[in-house]
Amino acid sequence: MTTNPLLVAKDFKSDLKPIWCPGCGDFGVVQAIYRALAGVGRPPHEIAFVSGIGCSSRIPGYTTAYGFNSVHGRSLPIAQGIKMANPDLLVLCAGGDGDGFSIGGGHVAHAVRRNPDITYIVMDNQIYGLTKGQLSPTSPCGLKTVTSTYGSFEQPVNPLLYLLSYGAGFVAQATPADMAGMASVIEEAIRYPGFSFVNIQSPCVTYGQETQQVKAHRSQMKSLASVGHDPANRMGAFELASHYGEELYTGVFYRNPTPPPTYDALFRGRQAELATKVPRDRILDMFVQR
Amino acid sequence: MTTNVQGIDFSKLSLRDALDLAILVEEEAKERYEELAEQLEQHRTPEAAKFFRFMVENEAKHRADLAERRRVLYGREPSTVTRDMIFDIEAPEYDEARAFMSLRQALEVALRAEQKAHAFFVGAMPSASDPAVRALFDSLRLDEIEHQNLVQAQLDKLPPDPVAKPEDYGDEPVSQ
C-alpha cells in the first residue's frame, strides 16, 4: 500500500468520454471523485471501483482505477469479495438509488453489518434514468412518471435513515451544487476505516423534476456544520436525516468516533491466528470448528 | 471569501502564485469548454458545440498569454498553487449544458461564466495584501469585463430563440 502526495485529479481521469446527458449531475460527481482520490493519494492501480447497472454505474470506466461495471444491484457483494481477496486495495462502490435501494437493497444491510473498509457512493436522482424515467425507490410520493401516470402512491425510501439504522459508521450527503464540499466529503468517507456511505443528490437532467436540479440545490442546500450538527452525535444524525426529501442537508451526518474493527481486519487476524495451527491441506478447518 | 477555492490564502499570495492561479483558472475553463463541446457533439447539438470549441481557443490563448508573462518574470520557479485548489472559477458549471441547446443559450452560458470569473477577481482583490497581486487581479477583472462585452455583442446579433423549446416536443409520461 502506497500513498503519493504528488497525485493530482487528472491522474484518475480515463480517456473514455462520459456519455451522460449534458447537464447530468454525475459529471460533477466524477470530478469530485477524482479530487478525493488525489487527496487520498493512493495510485490508480491500488484502487478497485465496482458498480452495478444504470447511468451512474458507468462511473468506474471514467476513472483510471480498476473497474468492474457489474450486475444490477450486485455491486456491494462483488466489492466485498474483492476486498476479502485483496484487503490492501482501496475499494469503492457506486451506483444509483434504484441499483442500491431497490434491486440491490437487500445487500446494503449485510454490507453495513460486516463493516468492510469500502466506500459506497450512491448517485440518488430519484428516478430510473437509463430506462427512461420510471419510479425509483427514492421517487417522491405523487411523482408522475411512465410507471405512475397519475402520480405515485408510494412513500420514498430514506437512504440516510436506512444506513444509520443498519449501523453504518459513516453516513454523509452531498450535491454537485457544492463541488468542494462533495470532494471533501468523499475523501473523508474514503479515509474512514470501515464501511462508509455517501448519498449524492445527483439530478437527472432529462427525467428529473425542476426542483431537483443543481440550480435548485444551490438555494436549497444547508450544510450540517451550519446548523451546528456534531457528526459524533448519532441521535442528532437520525433527527436530521429524517428530513430527507424536505431539506437538503450536506456534509457528514454521522462519523463513529470509535470505529470498530473492519471485517477485513478481523478476517486477516483470524487467518494469522490459525495459519500456524492448521496444515495447508486442512485450510478449510480454519473456518469450521470441529 | 468564496467556496470554490481550497487552501489558498489570498493575503499570502505572491505575484508568481497569483499568475499561476490565473493560468489554472484559464486552463480549467478551456478544459470545461472542451468537455461541453464533446458532450454536445455527442448529443447532436452542433451549433452550441462549435461555439464552445471557439471558447476553447479563447481560453487557451488567455492561458498562453499569462503563461508567457509568468515565464518572463519567474522562469521555471515552482508553483505553490495547484489545479486541485480551484473549482469552477471561470469554467461553466456542468449543469449549464443541455442537449439541443441553442447558440443563444450557449452564449449565455459563456456570459455567465465570464461574470462569475469577474466576481471571483473582485472578491479576491481586497484579501490580497501584495499590491502587485491586487493590480494583477484588477487587470484580470477588466479582461473579464471585456470578454463579457464581446459575448454580449455576439448575443445582440442573434435572432431570438423560437418560442417552443426542445423540451416542449417531449412526450408526456404514458403508462408502460
Q: Is the pLDDT of residue A212 over 60?
A: yes
Do B87 and B7 contact (CB within 8 A), yes or no?
A: no
Any domain includes A159: yes
**pLDDT digit string (tens) for A63-102?**
999 999 999 999 999 999 999 999 999 999 999 999 999 9
Any domain includes B169: no
Query: Which pLDDT does position B130 carry in this prediction?
Result: 95
What's the structural domain count of chain A?
Answer: 2
Chain B hits for A22, CB-CB cut-off 8 Å, are: 36, 39-40, 43, 45, 97-99, 101
Any domain includes A1: no
**pLDDT digit string (tens) for A91-147?**
999 999 999 999 999 999 999 999 999 999 999 999 999 999 999 999 999 999 999
Q: Which domain holds residue B42?
A: 13-159
Q: Are residues A267 and A207 in the same domain?
A: no
Cross-chain CB nearest to A28 (options B4, B84, B94): B94
Any domain includes A2: no
Interface A:B, Cβ pairs < 8 A: 77
**pLDDT digit string (tens) for B9-23?**
899 999 999 999 999
Cross-chain CB nearest to A17 (options B38, B82, B101): B38
Query: What is the radius of gyration, based on Cα positions, of chain A?
Result: 19
Q: What is the CATH number of the domain that holds B69?
A: 1.20.1260.10
Report d(CA A58, CA A123) in Å as an integer: 11
Any domain includes B137: yes
**pLDDT digit string (tens) for B48-59?**
999 999 999 999
Q: Is the pLDDT of residue B73 over 80?
A: yes
Q: Are residues A24 and A46 in the same domain?
A: yes
**Model pTM above 0.90:** yes
* Nearest residue in B to A214, CA atom: B95
Any domain includes A59: yes
For the segment A7-17, the average pLDDT, to the nearest whole number, is 95
List the 63-122 stretch of A: residues with Cβ below 8 A of B.
none
CA A153 to mean position of chain CA atoms: 27
Q: Which domain holds residue A281?
A: 260-290
Any domain includes A4: no
Q: What is the CATH number of the domain that holds A152?
A: 3.40.50.970
**pLDDT digit string (tens) for A24-62?**
999 999 999 999 999 999 999 999 999 999 999 999 999
**pLDDT digit string (tens) for B87-144?**
999 999 999 999 999 999 999 999 999 999 999 999 999 999 999 999 999 999 999 9
Any domain includes A244: yes
CA distance B166 to chain A (A): 12
More confident position, B170 or B99: B99
Q: Are residues A146 and A270 in the same domain?
A: no
A23–B87 CB contact, under 8 Å: no
Considering chain B, what is the average pLDDT of its residues?
Answer: 91
Q: Is A10 on the interface with B (CB under 8 A)?
A: yes
Any domain includes A3: no
Q: Are residues A61 and A196 in the same domain?
A: yes
